[in-house]
Structure 1
């Protein structure tokens, strides 16, 4: 285990992710800023979750009407940012695979749909048809 210096300004979740990531992986100079932004995003998500916990999922709008807490909308955006940052880092998961990007996931789903029901000639020969 190496001694990893945590950047100033990170909250507890961001600092834990920073330390755990740098202890597990050796990042390039171009990947380190991505990691820092991912850590900040994790901290932002924690702050937004706390805002929802403090004020509830609904709040009062400008005309007195109930509206969804803006922290929920912002949290959704922060989750998207986090996914993109982690995909850009391409850190492997437990199986050694990198987190797929949204485009990769859509492409895989599209290919599966396109080829659903098709059987290759090789597969047919294997079963004797």
Structure 2
């Protein structure tokens, strides 16, 4: 199996994630789109980390209050986004005894608060 080439716009960290995921897995198109988003977010996190290098963790806002640096806030937001995107991919955590890939359990829709249309409650 040949690993698909990473998108041209990815940087070092994004390319590394791309290659590590696709080294052993074949993804469907919707999963590839999620991986592409995760790789771009990984690159963004690296850019933010570089921008924060040596920068203060707090800044003074227009009212004179000391608040978290916007870079720090954005880094946290991007990290949360990456975690959610990777969780959506449901990447396998290894092999089961039968040789099948072990993926995290699906949650959400089946356990949602919504009922089945037309069902009597």
TM-score for both structures, normalised by structure 1: 0.67
Larger Rg: 1
Judge conservation of contact 1:87–1:100 (CA < 8 Å) in 2: no
1:59 is paired with a residue of what secondary structure? strand
Tell me the TM-score normalized by structure 2. Answer: 0.71
Task: Name the structure with the higher helix share.
Answer: 1
Partner of 1:45: 45
Shift in alpha-carbon separation, 1:83–1:100, aligned structure 2, 3 A? farther
Instruction: Name stretches of at least 5 consecutive residues in structure 1 with no aligned partner.
Output: 104-129
1:93 CA displacement = 2.2
| Structure 1 residue 61, shift from structure 2 partner | 2.1
CA pair 80-98 structure 1, distance change in 2 beyond 3 A: farther
Moved over 6 A (4+): 100-103
Q: Measured at CA, do residues 81 and 25 of structure 1 come closer, stay the same or move farther in structure 2, by a change above 3 Å?
A: same
CA deviation map 1:51-108 (0-9, x unaligned): 21142212232245432111111111112111111111110124764457897xxxxx
Q: What 5-or-longer segments of structure 2 have no aligned partner?
A: 96-100, 109-121
Distance between the aligned counterparts of 1:38 and 1:99, measured in 2?
Answer: 18
Alpha-carbon RMSD across the aligned residues, in angstroms, is 2.4
Cα 1:10–1:99, aligned 2, differ >3 Å: closer, same or farther?
farther
Is the Cα–Cα contact under 8 Å of residues 58 and 66 in structure 2 kept in the other structure?
Answer: yes
